[in-house]
Amino acid sequence: MKKHIKSAIALFSALAMLSCGALSASAGNLTEEQLIDKYGYRCEISFQPGLVSGADWAAIERKDAGANISETIASGVKNGLCYDELADGSVSITGVDFDTFSADATVLTIPEEINGKPVKVIGSHAFQRLYQALPELREIALPDSIEIISDFAFSNVFCNFHTSISMTDTEKSAYRINLPKNVVFIGYMAFAENTFAIANTQQQKNVITLPESLEYISSYAFSGEIGTRVEGLIEVKMPNSLVFMSD
């Protein structure tokens, strides 16, 4: 039976403001060591009173590089996208080559293959704050070959925090980014501030369905949005595949 989170308040607690606790917190039958071995990810919390203005504490996360990603053996640029070829035979998209990618583009499409190799990874910070260079961008299309979405991959991709909180529902409805159906790992702050673009691609209004392949959701993956700025959201459907959600 699919796990559901009903109501914006519950969802806000479970996803929107994810903080990072012990890896075994929601790990099913996996031990902390097994999780680290599988995903190469460690989290440790320290609380720093007064570190953030207007708050009496802040969570500071010390972690490894995220999901275990194979060694880079070659790098290149194709159709305006920067990429790494990995030793395991897959490809990681690492960003946009602004010398060759159109600054007026409204859609960015990630290919399923590059040089005959499957694109399985979106690298850390790959498209963070992309709106600064591509102000007309409204849609990102991700192939189902993607398995890993790394830390900060799409953080503030369409706009910053201050813009997103002032946007109307009509303005937000123009932005779209899909969750690949085979994604396994979503990293730290991967979609921070712009999760409303995910909601716009869902088939059911006011419901976000996470892919059945998903096993790991890192802290703050959807921070600032779900439950607070996805207007009318009433339910998130959690996959049975999920073995760890940072809490």
**More confident site: 166 or 20:** 166
pLDDT computed for residue 241 by the predictor: 81
Task: Please tell me whether the overall predicted TM-score, pTM, comes out greater than 0.85 for this model.
Answer: no
Q: Residue 194's closest CA among 217, 170, 218, 172? A: 172
State the number of CA atoms in the 13 A half-sphere of 104 facing the CB: 0
Q: Extract the runs of DSSP E, i.e. beta strands, from 79-232.
A: 81-86, 91-96, 107-109, 113-114, 117-122, 139-141, 148-149, 176-177, 185-186, 207-209, 216-217
Please write the tens of the pLDDT for every residue from 32-77: 566 666 666 544 433 444 444 444 333 334 344 456 677 899 999 9
The DSSP line for 150-186 is -TTTTTTSS--HHHHHH--HHHHTT-EEPPPTT--EE
What one-character DSSP code corresponds to residue 212? Answer: T
Burial 15-41, CB ≥16 within 10 A → b, else e? bbbbbbbebeebbeebeeeebbebbeb
To which H or E segment does residue 9 belong? helix 8-11
Q: What is the pLDDT of residue 77?
A: 97
Q: Give the pLDDT band (50/70/90) at residue 238.
A: confident
CB burial of 176-210 (b: ≥16 within 10 Å; e: otherwise) equals bbbbbeebbbbbbbbbbbbbbbbbbbbeeeeebbb
Residue 24, token pair as written in the block: 């075994």
Convert the pLDDT of each residue in 94-115 to its tens digit: 999 999 999 999 999 999 999 9
